[in-house]
Structure 1
Amino acid sequence: MAEERAHRVYDLSSAGRMLVTRNVGRRVREELAGVLESLPRGGVLYVDTRGVEFMDYSFADETFGVLISRAAGGEFQDRYVVLVERERDLLENVEASLLQRKLALLRVNDVGESPQVVGSLPEHLLNTLQVIQQAHSITNSELAARLDLNHTAGNNRAAKLARLGLIHRRVETAAPSGRQYVYEKIV
């Protein structure tokens, strides 16, 4: 079973209720990156957008597009970003940025609730993500069996989800091969 992850909540409305321009987005992104880096490995940064009234594309792209690109590049080493938002309309520009960059992000209505995906995720990866979320924690062998795939295909899908920051991937020692991958939901 997946363990409870260390987390912090960042109230995005502390930067303003009307979030516009790349300059403001850059400042907020740098704050978010600092909070992410301060979390222990496996930690989750919930970015709470519920107090924000408007977010333009420039702000969304500079803040979330760049931050999630950096996270997908491995810069934050197993630290995750999750959006907290009830009004899906506010996220239109965040989603546009993620789609443009072929990235995805988890979104919840409130901390602790079931996640949804914002951005770009092919159907086969979405199905794989759903299996992992339902299982909470699953080995590569179990994942491949549930998806009716060979081990390599299951691992490739899960590795992609891990690189995107949508799941946690860890290695366990196992006999006889010496190691196995375990995939865990983040939230």
Structure 2
Amino acid sequence: MAEDRTYRVFDASEVEGGGRLLFTREAGRAFRGLLEAAIEDLPTGGILFVDTRGVEMMDYSFADEAIGSVVSRAARGDYGPRHVVLLENERDLLENVGMSLWVRQETALRVEEIGGEAHVVGNLEEHLRETLDVIRAAGPITTAELAARLKLNQTACNNRATNLLERGLIKRRKETGGRRFVYEKVV
């Protein structure tokens, strides 16, 4: 695993229990345990990049048990304020991951390289996708600024931003010296 103070890379093809061919729910459970340990080892606000670029095949059972369940738990806040981001190119391997997330009504972010543009994998309604796009494009943004850009009231924008926050797709912090929240992209 490569390491930085704010993120770690979990190379699925290199870790014990991983490899180039990832099959079965049982193997997914073992892999999930390794992922969870890596997430819990992150500092608060850290990001675990799950690198599957070296994997040739991942079946639905493995994807659901390893990736889908971890994304679900992260969205519930089981790991605290830590984020899981897929490090993967646009290819067929994402179908099973995407289907697992769709069935679970969850969403994850995917980048092709660290620092690259983030893409959504899984289930995200159009109005939430629009809100996420504005937050990512604007940089740190308050609810009032978000409401003005989307031409909505602040309550609706707060509800949308809270939904995105709960899915782990954005971060929120208190404005310096203020009482307002500021929303920003994870990656």
Relative to the length of structure 2, the TM-score reads 0.92
Identical-residue share of aligned pairs (%): 57
Is contact 1:82-1:107 (8 Å) kept? yes
Give the CA RMSD over aligned residues: 1.5
| Matching residue of 2:124 | 121
Is contact 1:11-1:48 (8 Å) kept? yes
| Matching residue of 2:156 | 153
Q: Give 1:100's match in structure 2, choosing from 100, 103, 110.
A: 103
Task: Give secondary structure in 1 for the equivalent of 2:92.
Answer: helix
Is contact 1:5-1:44 (8 Å) kept? no
| Matching residue of 1:86 | 89
CA distance in 2, matches of 1:182, 1:116: 22
Relative to the length of structure 1, the TM-score reads 0.92
| Matching residue of 1:36 | 39
CA displacement at 1:68 relative to structure 2: 0.9
Task: Give secondary structure in 2 for the equivalent of 1:88.
Answer: coil
The structure with higher relative contact order (CA 8 Å, sep 6+) is 1
Task: Give secondary structure in 2 for the equivalent of 1:13.
Answer: coil
Distance 1:92 1:146, change over 3 A: same
CA displacement at 1:172 relative to structure 2: 3.0
Q: For structure 2, which runs of at least 5 residues remain unmatched after alignment?
A: none
Matched, 1:111 2:114: yes
| Matching residue of 1:169 | 172
CA displacement at 1:173 relative to structure 2: 5.9
Q: Deviations over 1:7-45 (max 9, x none)?
A: 000101121110001111111111111111111111111
Q: Deviations over 1:46-98 (max 9, x none)?
A: 01111000000000000111111111111111110111111421111000000
CA distance in 2, matches of 1:70, 1:53: 26
